[in-house]
Structure 1
Amino acid sequence: MSKLFSLFFLVIISAGSIQAQSVQEIQDKINECYSSRDYKCAEKEQKKLIKKSKKSPNLARYYSDLGTIQRRLGKNKDALKSYDKAIKLENDRVVFYTNRATLHMQLENYEKGNSDFESAIELDPNNWEIASDYATFKKRQGLLKEALEDFNKLIQKYPEELIFYNNRADTFLRMGDHDAAFKDINFVLEKDPEYQVAIITKGEIYLDLEQTEEACSYFKQAVDKGFDANRISYLLKECK
């Protein structure tokens, strides 16, 4: 009887090991698909992982990861549903709110995006990256004074972070204050002449001033330094 029990116990352990190994294999496959940018494959495998992990403590994260994969595929409605499920399972994870907030930002769902950013900041009030993203979201909504106030606070608190000066320069540009925009962007480029995003921002200031030749010289300079030309194709069109 004891031998039979031992054999039965061994079978259970072996089955559990196979199950665990199967989950690991799926995760490895997801990583392989993602690394090769085969997002359809990654989505398929991620759904398999979720199906096998209904009682896993990682289930919420798996749904969040699925949402991110679906965004890569342009399946934004599906991605929102996946993020919703992640937050429903765990409503105290900052990254779940920021993932959904940035998708709302992309889709111009302003009210919902604001709500998610505020939830994330409430959970992690000292996270400057979230605060910066929220300020950028406000800027996209045309809430320029609010965005400017946020960037001023961030610069005061983190004066070494050049991205805030660049983003404030872009805010000044949208407000029509070219002198203030140049002051910030020149400061950034003095500190880091290789900062490609800042080089592009400086070009945008010149473009807004209708100094196209000067603007294009900065756009082309950024591309020469390695910036993906496809990402600023709308600006490079001005250079024909």
Structure 2
Amino acid sequence: MNRYFFIAIFFLVSFFSSAQTYEELVSKSLDYLDAKEYAAAELALKEAMRKEPANEGNILLLANLGTIQRHLGKSEEALISYSSALSKYPNNIFVLQNRAALYCELDSLNAAMKDYNIILSMDEKNIEALYRRGLIFMSEKNLLAAESDFEQILEINPENVLALSSLAFSLKSRGEWIEAEDKYTDLIFKYKNQPEFYVNRAECYLQLDKKGRAKSDLDKAQQLGYNDPLLYILKGQLDIHQFDKFSAKRNFEKALEMGANKEIIKQYLLLCK
């Protein structure tokens, strides 16, 4: 199989090295991209840039190349492509956004934060940068800063569901159960078929000792197809509150089977004895 792959690559390189123009190679790369033939698209773009290395259009080609390389799993090469484009055009927001997203994939959150800060210094209303920076703040447990970014998004677009749900989650993470419950109730009013909103509100209800409402939300989430360890952890917690240790154990074990943290489940199972 590898032999045929290398033969195919050889013919592609030979084909691209023929008398095709810069424009033809770029057009061919887009055709390959539409067909999800990423390896061929990568070769076409590289050959186009070799033909005309001084062409100003290469910044867009480098950005496209980086995205194609991400599809191919070549993260480090994609990073080089984005950074090469930015070395010539350091304030290009489109490329900065792509590089920042790649940094997040590589878990290089400090580098991603720098790119988002640059974007926001040029465009303080850039919703994508505000949202993604808010998520980084959340990962760092800087919840107040995260909430500030989400609130800025809502000033720009009050109906932005990502900001609304992230703000509710941040409030929940801070133990602001009443405020978080209100946010999730608003979300459920607008988006009745999103099971994760019911699960999160159920957690708020449990903390506020509203057991009946918690059960109703968990049942609704399950009806809507929600199938995550958190559902069974919350069901087990509700069973503990209702002194049903047998059902609680069964739900905690189900959560464990689905990949829940073993140490957390171990602590919950101690409550079932």
TM (norm. structure 2) is: 0.67
Gaps of 5+ in 2: 1-50
Distance (whole Å) between structure 1 residues aligned to residue 71 and residue 211 of structure 2: 42
> What secondary structure is seen at the aligned counterpart in 1 of 2:56?
helix
Distance (whole Å) between structure 2 residues aligned to residue 92 and residue 16 of structure 1: 34
Is the counterpart of residue 149 in structure 1 residue 182 in structure 2?
A: yes
> What secondary structure is seen at the aligned counterpart in 1 of 2:236?
helix
2:165 aligned partner: 132
Q: 1:64-143 residue pairs with structure 2 within 5 A?
A: 64-143=97-176
| AA in 1 matched with 2:122 | L
Match of 1:40 among 72, 76, 80: 76
Aligned identity (percent) is: 17
Is the counterpart of residue 206 in structure 1 residue 236 in structure 2?
A: yes
> What secondary structure is seen at the aligned counterpart in 2 of 1:125?
coil
Distance (whole Å) between structure 2 residues aligned to residue 218 and residue 178 of structure 1: 21
Q: 1:155-234 residue pairs with structure 2 within 5 A?
A: 155-192=188-225, 195-197=226-228, 200-207=230-237, 209=240, 211=245, 213-219=249-255, 223=258, 229=259, 232=261
Relative to structure 1, the CA distance from residue 37 to residue 167 in structure 2 (aligned partners, 3 Å threshold; closer, same or farther) is: farther
Relative to structure 1, the CA distance from residue 218 to residue 177 in structure 2 (aligned partners, 3 Å threshold; closer, same or farther) is: farther
> What secondary structure is seen at the aligned counterpart in 2 of 1:74?
coil
Distance (whole Å) between structure 2 residues aligned to residue 168 and residue 38 of structure 1: 40
For residues 104-131 of structure 1, the C-alpha deviation after alignment (integer angstroms, 9 at most, x for no partner) is 1111112211211110111110122220
1:5 aligned partner: none
Runs of 4+ in 1 over 4 A off after TM superposition: 14-17, 231-239
1:31 aligned partner: 67
The alignment of Structure 1 onto Structure 2 pairs a total of residues equal to 213
Q: Is the 8 A contact 2:218 2:235 kept in 1?
A: no
* Structure number having the greater helix percentage: 1
2:56 aligned partner: 19
- Computing the radius of gyration over CA atoms, which structure comes out larger, 1 or 2? 2
Q: Is the 8 A contact 2:69 2:78 kept in 1?
A: yes
1:234 CA drift (Å): 5.3
Q: Is the 8 A contact 2:198 2:221 kept in 1?
A: yes
> What secondary structure is seen at the aligned counterpart in 2 of 1:119?
helix
Q: RMSD value over aligned CA atoms?
A: 2.9
For residues 18-73 of structure 1, the C-alpha deviation after alignment (integer angstroms, 9 at most, x for no partner) is 331x3344223312332244433332222112123346xxx123223222222222
1:232 CA drift (Å): 4.8
